[in-house]
């Protein structure tokens, strides 16, 4: 018998005698104060969470300011980024000019490994936990937020959502078409050694968020 048929057969048989606790007929919905709060509060909460995670946060009131902040971070560095068209605030040109080298498309592994700064937008920014949601797609390469030691994430006000479930609602259409969804909350860390915190174990050790209008 095929493994699949045998396992499903065993499971069906098991369910006849399984001792499983009763489930409640229904449960009240889980409340969220943040969802109910005015959207203006989400920004402040987002920033507070990021700071608590050790993320460097730079706020900008104009697109030009955003570009300037990003420029200082990538000047003279090797950059790996999302595709031009996917980046917010017309950052593509800034990156091309300021960086020492820019990989924003398909690239050789060795070149990717040599990148120093990764620059991305986000598909949603979750206020409650300071989480960045990044869809993996052809114009949103995963390695931009993964390989370099520094990840600069550029967030628009419109990206802000209160919590994870609202992010999933917003991205419901995009998720099925994507190969993956990455939720990034702070820099890479480990506490495996005596529960002592170390940053930058495999993923980026430095996460920078530029929060624009």
Partner 1 sequence: MSAPPPALPPFAERVRAAVGDAHLHEAIDRATGQLQARRGAAFASLEAADLVRDHARAAKLEVLARLDTMLEQFEANARANGIAVHWARDAEEAQRLVVEIARAAGCRRAVKAKSMVTEEIHLNAALEAAGIRVVETDLGEYVVQLRADRPSHIILPIIHLTKEDVGRTMEEKLAVPYTSAPQELCALARERLRAEFLEADLGISGGNFAIVESGSLGLVSNEGNIRMVTTLPRVHVALVGIEKLVPTLVDWERMVQVLARSATGQKITVYTTLVNGPRRVPPAGTPAGRIVDEGPEQVHVILLDHGRSATLAGDEAEILACIRCGACLNVCPVFRNIGGHAYGDTYPGPMGAVLTPSLRGLPGWEELPQASSLCGACRDVCPVRIDLPRMLLSLRAKGVERGPVGLVPRLFMKAYAFLATRPRLLRLAMKLARACARRRARDGWVERTPGLPGLLRGWTEQRDFKVPAARTFDDWWERRRGSA
Site for partner 1 in 45-74 (CB under 8 A): none
Minimum CB separation of residue 175 from partner 1 in Å reads 7
Q: Which of 137, 156, 157, 170 binds partner 1 (CB under 8 A)?
A: 137
| Size, binding site for partner 1 by CB under 8 A | 74
Paired tokens of 2: 């095929």
Site for partner 1 in 70-99 (CB under 8 A): 83
Can you say whether the dihedral through the CA atoms of 13, 19, 24, 25 is positive or negative? positive
Chain residues 173-202 in contact with partner 1, contact rule CB under 8 A: 175-196, 198, 200-202
Closer residue to partner 1 (CB): 94 or 188? 188
According to DSSP, residue 130 is labeled: T
End-to-end CA distance of the chain: 61
Nearer to partner 1, 35 or 65 (CB): 35
Structure token pair of residue 16: 């006849």
Q: Which stretch binds partner 1 (CB under 8 A): 14-22, 61-69, 94-102, 154-162?
A: 14-22
How many other C-beta atoms are found inside a 10 Å radius of the C-beta of residue 16? 6
Q: What does the alpha-carbon distance between residue 53 and residue 48 come to, in Å, rounded to a whole number?
A: 9
In whole angstroms, the minimum distance from the beta carbon of 71 to partner 1 comes to 24
Residue with the two structure tokens 């989480």:
131
Using the contact rule CB under 8 A, the part of the chain among 56-64, 65-73, 117-125, 171-179 near partner 1 is 171-179
Strand partners, 198: 190
């Amino acid at each position: 018998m095929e493994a699949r048929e045998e396992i499903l057969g065993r499971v069906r048989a098991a369910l006849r005698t399984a001792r499983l606790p009763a489930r409640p007929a229904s449960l009240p919905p889980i409340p969220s104060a943040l969802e109910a709060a005015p959207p203006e509060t989400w920004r402040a909460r987002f920033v507070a969470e990021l700071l608590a995670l050790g993320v460097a946060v730079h706020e900008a009131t104009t697109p030009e300011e955003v570009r300037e902040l990003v420029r200082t971070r990538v000047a003279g560095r090797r950059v790996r980024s999302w595709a031009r068209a996917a980046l917010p605030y017309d950052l593509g040109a800034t990156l091309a000019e300021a960086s020492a080298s820019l990989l924003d498309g398909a690239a050789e592994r060795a070149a990717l490994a040599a990148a120093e700064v990764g620059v991305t937008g986000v598909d949603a920014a979750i206020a409650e936990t300071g989480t960045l949601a990044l869809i993996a797609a052809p114009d949103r390469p995963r390695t931009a937020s993964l390989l370099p030691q520094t990840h600069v994430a550029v967030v628009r006000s419109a990206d802000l959502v209160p919590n994870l479930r609202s992010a999933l609602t917003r991205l419901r259409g995009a998720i099925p078409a994507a190969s993956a969804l990455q939720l990034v909350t702070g820099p890479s860390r480990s506490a495996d050694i005596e529960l002592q915190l170390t940053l930058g174990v495999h993923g980026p050790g430095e996460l920078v968020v530029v929060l624009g209008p």
